[in-house]
C-alpha cells in the first residue's frame, strides 16, 4: 500500500519558535508537496519539489521554507512561527509525468501556535 | 490561470437520499479531473478521476462525468449512507504542470440516519 507519513499529528508551539514538519513517502515518487488547509479556503500549495534538492514556491510560501535532501523525505520549516500559521498541514507525493497521476496524501499535521 | 469552483456547503441529507455536488472548472488545454474525499481527522484520499472528455469516473457508488462542453465534473451518488459524511474536494491537473493539482474549496457533506 501507498504510504505518506507525517511525523507529528498534533503540535503546539510558541510564537517565534522554529518548527519542523517532516514527511516521508515510501513509493519512490519524484514529486512532493506541502499544502495548508484552512476552513473556507480549501487547500493552498505552500511549496513543492520535483527532485532531490529542487523546490518551487507555491501560492503561499511566505514564512515557510522546505528541505529535500533525500528523495523520500520532504520537510516544511517555519523559521519563526506566528499565530496566523495555526493550521492543518498536509504533505503529498506523486509520480512525475502526465496530468492523470494520482496525488497521495498524508494524514495531516495540526499545528497550533500560541 | 486554472481554477475550480465547487458548490458551497454544508450539505445535509438523509440516508438513502440522492447526492449531487457541483463542480466547474477553468483551465487551458485538456486537464485531468479528480474528486478527493477527506473523512473526519484524516488526510485526503482519491475518490475517482477522469482524464479525458466524456470519461466517467466511479468508485464506492459515486460517479462523475467529464463534460468538456460545460466544463463540469459534478459528483453524484444515488443513495448516500451515514459513512459518506466527509468533505469532498474537486480538483484539476493541467498537463505539463509540475505543481499538479488545483483544488476547489471543498464541500462538507453530513448524512443523517
Rounded Cα distance between B33 and B2, Å, is: 12
Name every chain A residue with its beta carbon within 8 A of the beta carbon of B99: 33, 45, 48, 56, 58
Q: What is the mean pLDDT of residues B17-37?
A: 93
Who among B32, B41, B46 is closest to A99 (CB)? B32
Per DSSP bridges, beta strands B107-112 and B11-14 are parallel
Between A24 and A7, the higher pLDDT residue = A24
Q: Do A50 and B98 touch (CB under 8 A)?
A: yes
Rounded Cα distance between B59 and A90, Å, is: 24
Q: Is the pLDDT of residue B28 over 90?
A: no
Q: Choose the mutation target among B7, B43, B57, B59 for the interface with A, i.e. most A CBs under 10 Å.
A: B43
Confidence of residue B97 (pLDDT cuts 50, 70, 90): low
Rounded Cα distance between A22 and A69, Å, is: 12
Rounded Cα distance between A97 and B51, Å, is: 13
Confidence of residue B7 (pLDDT cuts 50, 70, 90): confident
pLDDT per residue over A22-63, tens digit each? 999 999 999 999 999 998 788 899 999 999 989 999 989 999
* Inter-residue contact B90 to B4 (CB < 8 Å): yes
Say whether residue B49 is in contact with chain A using an 8 A CB cutoff.
yes
Q: Give the per-residue pLDDT at B99.
A: 61
Render B28-89 in DSSP notation, one character per residue: SS--EEEEEEE-TTS-EEEEEEE-STT-EEEETTEEEE-BTTTTB--EEESS--GGG-EEEE
Amino acid at each position: 500500500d501507498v504510504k505518506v507519513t507525517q511525523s507529528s499529528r498534533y503540535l503546539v508551539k510558541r510564537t517565534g519558535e522554529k518548527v519542523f514538519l517532516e514527511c516521508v513517502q515510501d513509493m519512490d515518487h519524484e514529486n512532493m508537496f506541502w499544502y495548508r488547509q484552512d476552513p473556507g479556503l480549501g487547500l493552498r500549495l505552500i511549496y513543492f519539489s520535483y527532485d532531490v534538492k529542487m523546490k518551487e514556491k507555491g501560492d503561499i510560501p511566505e514564512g515557510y521554507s522546505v528541505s529535500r535532501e533525500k528523495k523520500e523525505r520532504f520537510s516544511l520549516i517555519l523559521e519563526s512561527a506566528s499565530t496566523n500559521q495555526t493550521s492543518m498541514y498536509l504533505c503529498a507525493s506523486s509520480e512525475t509525468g502526465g496530468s492523470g497521476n494520482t496525488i497521495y496524501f498524508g494524514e495531516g499535521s495540526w499545528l497550533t501556535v500560541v | 490561470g486554472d481554477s475550480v469552483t465547487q458548490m458551497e456547503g454544508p450539505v445535509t441529507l438523509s440516508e438513502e437520499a440522492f447526492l449531487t455536488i457541483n463542480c466547474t472548472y477553468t483551465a487551458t488545454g485538456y486537464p485531468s479531473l479528480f474528486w478527493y474525499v477527506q473523512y473526519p481527522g484524516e488526510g485526503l484520499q482519491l475518490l475517482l478521476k477522469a482524464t479525458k472528455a466524456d470519461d466517467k469516473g466511479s468508485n464506492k457508488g459515486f460517479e462523475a462525468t467529464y463534460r468538456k462542453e460545460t466544463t463540469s465534473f459534478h459528483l453524484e451518488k444515488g443513495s448516500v449512507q451515514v459513512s459518506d459524511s466527509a468533505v469532498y474536494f474537486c480538483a484539476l491537473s493541467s498537463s505539463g504542470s509540475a505543481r499538479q493539482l488545483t483544488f476547489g474549496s471543498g464541500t462538507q457533506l453530513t448524512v443523517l440516519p
